[in-house]
């Protein structure tokens, strides 16, 4: 069955050429093609793509912001960024936000299909320069910092990992039960998980507590 693709690119001519290029292969089907990514999260929820081709610089909302929104509820879909430059901070930010890899626009005609297949197979196409920047960036951040937890969120996550119930956490922190629920929901969003078990497992595996 053909792999479903969503395409976000504000350059009309490039977007059309990408659609035509993908149409030449019966391995892929473009389910949606858009000039901006303002509705990207809704598109992903309704169309359930296998891969997303996302321009980094777009009007209204950047591709990086769109990736962050998508990753809040979908960590599995492959996201390949399209960019003019291969060594700038935007590419690094996109990778750190959850992009699967990226492709230079000047190479799309000869490398797009191969890059898509690489991403779908679990690969992460990127240049050595960006790979080095990603490694350096992660080495600079202590465990948990990439999730941007507040001090209160760290405290609540730590209590959750100790097996405390919401009521016990509320008692320990002198906060209302509903306030604890709100904090934990936010922690789930930042960790990209959907349950206490997943949150505790991820926190322990990544040494966040």
Which pLDDT score is estimated for 172?
93
| pLDDT score of 143 more than 60 | no
Q: Greater confidence, 206 or 63? A: 63
Alpha-carbon distance 35 to 66, whole Å? Answer: 13
Length of the chain: 209
Alpha-carbon distance 160 to 196, whole Å? Answer: 8
Band (198; pLDDT cuts 50, 70, 90): confident
Alpha-carbon distance 24 to 21, whole Å? Answer: 5
Average pLDDT, the chain: 88
Q: The tokens of 126 are what?
A: 């990127």
Which pLDDT score is estimated for 82?
93
| pLDDT score of 45 more than 90 | yes
Q: pLDDT digit string (tens) for 111-138?
A: 999 999 998 888 888 777 777 777 676 6
Tell me, yes or no, if the pTM score tops 0.85: no
Q: Greater confidence, 49 or 203? A: 49
Pairing of strands 28-34, 101-104: unpaired
> DSSP letter at 57?
S
| pLDDT, average across residues 10-14 | 95
Alpha-carbon distance 52 to 79, whole Å? Answer: 5
Q: Which domains does the chain have, with CATH numbers?
A: 3-139 (3.40.50.2300), 145-205 (1.10.10.10)
Band (79; pLDDT cuts 50, 70, 90): very high
Least confident of 21-35, 41-55, 154-168: 154-168
Pairing of strands 51-55, 3-8: parallel
Q: Which helix (H) or strand (E) holds 81?
A: strand 78-83
């Amino acid at each position: 069955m053909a792999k479903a693709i969503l395409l976000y690119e504000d350059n009309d001519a490039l977007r059309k050429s990408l659609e035509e290029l993908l149409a030449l292969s019966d391995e892929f089907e473009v389910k949606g093609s858009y000039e901006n990514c303002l509705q990207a999260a809704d598109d992903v929820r309704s169309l359930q793509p296998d891969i997303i081709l996302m321009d980094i610089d777009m009007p209204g909302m950047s591709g990086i912001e769109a990736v962050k929104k998508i990753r809040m509820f979908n960590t599995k879909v492959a996201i390949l960024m399209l960019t003019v430059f291969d060594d700038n901070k935007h590419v690094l930010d996109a990778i750190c936000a959850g992009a699967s890899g990226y492709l230079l626009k000047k190479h799309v005609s000869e490398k797009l299909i191969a890059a898509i297949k690489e991403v779908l197979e679990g690969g992460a196409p990127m240049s050595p320069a960006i790979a080095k920047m990603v490694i350096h960036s992660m080495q600079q951040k202590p465990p948990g910092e990439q999730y941007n937890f507040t001090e209160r969120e760290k405290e609540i996550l730590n209590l959750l990992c100790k097996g405390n119930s919401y009521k016990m956490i509320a008692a320990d922190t002198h906060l209302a039960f509903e306030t604890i629920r709100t904090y934990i929901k936010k922690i789930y969003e930042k960790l990209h998980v959907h349950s206490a078990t997943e949150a505790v497992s991820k926190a322990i595996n990544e040494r966040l507590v």
